Amino acid sequence: MKLSKKIARQNSVQFSIGSFVRIMSKDKILQNLDTLNKRDGCLFMDQMWEYCGKEFKVLKVVNNFFDEYRHKMYKTKSSLYLLEGLICNGTSETLNGHCDRSCYLLWHGDWLENTDGKNKHDDEEIKIASLPESEQICSDLYPKDQFFCQLTNIHEIVKKNSVLNEFFQYTANIISSIKTRIVIILRKISGSTLAADAMADRKKGSQAELQVGDFVKIKSASEIKKFLDKQGKYKGCGFAREMYVHCDKTYKVLKPVSYFYDEAKQKISKAKSIVILENVNCNGSFRLYPMRCDRMCFYFWRTEWLEKIEGTTT
């Protein structure tokens, strides 16, 4: 059994949004990775090595993390960072495939330093200690034929919730579910079903194949609603309330989505007629939750909700 190692010292350096940081050299980063290339459970993926020694702006400090599989909010074990422009390319160390979800890469604070190349631990001795037996990690837990990336093992980067926090989230989820059911019932009572003109709008929805760099205009809220069922979805793709603020605005296509890691189902899923748009990210708000998720996931957009602006591909 191959066991991981854990660095005893903790990084007290904190970086703020908008500040510039330098990703440490490969030699320095290797000093604070365990035998599974992790730090406090955060995986350092092979694709991240190319950024060593380069400077980037801090886009987000990740302190809260929503786990879609468990449908719960957690706090991270240590501060993690999203850096401007550094997005997962969809490759995995354990699968000959790809994922188009395009998550921002997570960077542990111990992999970053001030742009002067120094941090508060330069003069400290690095001590390696074995994990307690209850926390030992076996590399056999990660089969080579399964997709494995930073997102697939997020349970390792978060703290266990308190009993009170668990109770609060459980209660909030129940209330949210009840509210959703009430809305569905009210829509049925009011006869809010798809009229003939709405069905026609669905059929003539844009089916144009969008490519990277295409500019699109998001349809109006009234047009979008004609596509949505009582659960606020179209062909399984949900349209979140927070997405309405982007209606009637123009954005550039970042990437078409053909395959993506479905966190709730814990597997790679195939997608069709879905794209993600540049700089259009989830704001992390959850109704009834006081905390916001810091993941900044890209929204999924059905092509039927978009109108391609001809002659503006870049």
Integer Cα distance of 260 and 253 in angstroms: 17
Per-residue model confidence (pLDDT) at position 144: 45
Whole-prediction pTM value? 0.77
Confidence band of 5 (pLDDT split at 50, 70, 90):
very low
Q: Give the mean pLDDT of 216-224.
A: 95
Strands 20-23 and 112-114: antiparallel
Integer Cα distance of 70 and 98 in angstroms: 24
Q: Does the residue 182 lie in any domain? A: no
Burial letters 202-215, b for 16+ CB under 10 A, else e:
eeebbeeebeeebb
Per-residue model confidence (pLDDT) at position 13: 54
DSSP designation for 176: H
Q: Does the residue 166 lie in any domain? A: no
Q: Does the residue 176 lie in any domain? A: no
Q: Provide the number of structural domains found in the chain.
A: 2
Q: Are 90 and 97 in contact (CB under 8 A)?
A: no
Q: Does the residue 314 lie in any domain? A: no
Helix/strand/coil (H, E, C) string of 229-268? CCCCEECCEECCHHHHHHCCCEEEEEEECCEEEECCCCEE
The percent of residues in the chain predicted with pLDDT above 90, rounded, is: 43
Q: Find the CATH number of the domain harbouring 226.
A: 2.30.30
Say if residue 196's pLDDT is above 60.
no
Q: Give the pLDDT confidence of 108-141 residue by residue, as tens digits.
A: 999 999 987 555 444 444 333 333 333 333 333 3
> Among the three residues 139, 161, 183, which one is the final residue of a domain in this structure?
161
> Among the three residues 137, 161, 185, which one is the final residue of a domain in this structure?
161
Domain that holds residue 30: 5-161
> Do 67 and 109 have their domain in common?
yes
Sign of CA dihedral 157, 160, 165, 171: positive
* 133 three-state secondary structure: helix
Q: Give the pLDDT confidence of 258-302 residue by residue, as tens digits.
A: 999 888 888 888 999 999 999 999 988 876 667 789 999 999 999
